[in-house]
Copies of this chain bind each other. A is one copy, B any other.
Amino acid sequence: MTAAGTRQPSLTDVAGVAGVSHMTVSRVINGTGPVRPETRARVLAAIEELGYRPNSAARALVTGRTGTLGVVALESNLYGPASTLYGIENAAREAGYAITISSVSRPGRSSIADAVENLRRQAVEGIIVIAPHVTAGRALEAAPADFPVVAVGGGEAAPVPVISVDQRDGARRATEHLLALGHRTVWHVAGPEDWLEARDRELGWRETLERHGVDVPEVIRGDWSSRSGYEAGRSLAKEGDLDAVFAGNDQMALGLLRAFAEAGVSVPRDVRVAGFDDVPEAAYFTPPLTTVRQDFIEVGRRTFGLLTQRMDGGDRHARALVVPELIVRESTGPR
């Protein structure tokens, strides 16, 4: 029923009604070339009358441009990636581009390559890969030089432009903040090893501890989920001399808070906790969570900008860094 029997009107149909040639109609629509005001009015009236809508396939065929960008997104409800997607979509729409998404259930070299191939078959003009993964980075190493691809938050070594939030700096801020409160050291519940963001946050944390010459406790590995944070919290609660924990994201911090509450460990009195992301709920955790805020809308905008630059022949090695911000709340408050 897509076209309900009758064919969609074409340029020629409009031209017939308006009593002009199809080219004049084309000129009216695209604003190319001069058209007498009264002719334009007749054409516009005919367009209205017929409910004419340009055929994008025909236009794409002849111009070689589809006006569509592809986004490879990780199929997750993680706050960051979803927000980034909307940021990109907004910037793209304003510039007249449409966004086609291809989601990937679990990141991996081949699944990402498949998604990219899938999008290229859709004839997108450029591709944005939101997959802050080690494997995503590796998949992008093979990115063709003659097709514009940019990455968000990953693939430092890949020959594509990369936009990221400065995770190390964010982790440094959180760690410094905890140390400044007088703690001997800061424990860290890290995200999965194959996430670049997890690595960078861990690195920022480690560097800061080392710079201050304090003991670096063994890192505890989570998987971003509240569950893993909860498990980390249960084992941490058994440590006698625990006093500050920096969680790799807010979900894990929530799990920590839960585990500590169950174990009768009070936050911030017995232990101080910080997270990362500033999800909208973080301010309402028990207690409200100190965390590192990332401006994902800005990330989306910058990403789109870098992609268009690259489509115009820009450098494959461009980099953009967005600076995060520490938000202090009760979980690291006074005791």
Binding site for B on A (CB under 8 A): 1-4, 53-58, 60-61, 64-66, 68, 75, 77, 79, 82-83, 86, 89-90, 93, 98-103, 105, 118, 120-123, 125-126, 145-148, 225-227, 229-230, 251, 254-255, 257-258, 261, 280-281, 283-286, 288, 310-313
Contacts and interface: CB of A to CB of B under 8 A. Distances in A.
A123 B251 contact: no
B255 A68 contact: no
Identical chains bound together, number: 2
B281 A148 contact: no
A194 to B, nearest CB: 20
B75 A103 contact: no
Nearest to A103: B89
B286 A257 contact: yes
A312 B310 CA distance: 41
Contacts of A313: 1
6 nearest A-B residue pairs (beta carbon): A4-B146, A57-B60, A226-B284, A57-B61, A258-B284, A286-B286
A77 B83 contact: yes
B122 A98 contact: yes
Given A98-B102, A120-B53, A310 B82 contact: no
Contacts of A90: 75, 103, 105
Given A2-B148, A125-B2, A280 B261 contact: no
